[in-house]
Amino acid sequence: MSTENERIVNEFCKTWSTLNIDKVMEFFADDAVYHNIPLKPAHGKAEIRKVIDGFMPGTTALEFKILNTASAGSVVFNERVDSFTVNGKHIALPVAGVFELSGGKIRAWRDYFDLPTYVNQIKGK
């Protein structure tokens, strides 16, 4: 049985496939933190939006395929494969995501992944 927080995170992940960043941003608390662990964290919705906008040019398809989900209280973990089509290239990136929620909003989102796996696919290696 999934929790309400798991349902919210699953819906958030599904929303990415719409490529509607305004809808994606509705899931975040105003003071949220988004951290792709190999990179610098983004604090607040304006910074988060800037980071997301930075990797969207050329993206024509995006899917977060959730493989496993677990939660404890306000924290939801998911194991995913994020698939992108960027400038005609297909990229599949294994990711472990950690979400902290409060009041039905994402307060913190940390994604752990191997940056060279992403970069090598972008470069066609």
Other Cβ atoms less than 10 A from the Cβ of 109: the count is 23
In whole angstroms, give the CA distance from residue 75 to residue 52: 22
Kindly indicate the confidence band of residue 17, based on its pLDDT and cuts at 50, 70 and 90.
very high
Domain ranges of the chain: 4-123
| Residues with a known catalytic role | 82, 111
Tell me the pLDDT tens digit for each residue of 20-70. Answer: 999 999 999 999 999 999 889 999 999 999 999 998 999 999 999 999 999
> In the CATH scheme, what is the code of domain 4-123?
3.10.450.50
**What phi, psi does 74 have (nearest 5°)?**
-90, 0
